[in-house]
Amino acid sequence: MKQSKPKNNFSQETRLLFQEAWQCWWCGMNTADSLHHIVSRGGKDSTTESSTLNACPLCNQKCHLPNHGVLKTEAQIKIMLNKTYDYLIGIGYKLTELDIEFMEQYIDYYQ
């Protein structure tokens, strides 16, 4: 049986930006091994969710999967989006047009 490819995966550029971010943003351990879509993966007609601002490093099996429901709460979304923004600006990342569109779409989550 052929597996379907997940929709809206992060770009290689996004993955490279987080390659040194080993700390899981949920448990704090240096064992992050996946990128989580903070808001959502987006629908078939949406591209803003592929923004680098929508990514955060997590331990997949230990933190991401068992806590996915909690990670999708408004409080956690705010925490993760702001942490991602601070991390990216801290490493000298320059926002793209897509990132700006993403921030405008989800402005209520930013402090």
Structure tokens at 69: 């429901």
Q: Which of 66, 110, 61 is nearest to 88 (CA)?
A: 110
pTM of the model: 0.86
Q: In the structure, what pLDDT confidence band is assigned to residue 45 with cuts at 50, 70 and 90?
A: low
In a domain, 10, yes or no: no
Q: Which of 92, 4, 87, 6 is nearest to 49 (CA)?
A: 6
Total domains in the chain come to 1
In a domain, 7, yes or no: no
In a domain, 5, yes or no: no
Share of the chain above pLDDT 90, in %: 71
Domain that residue 31 falls in: 16-39+47-109
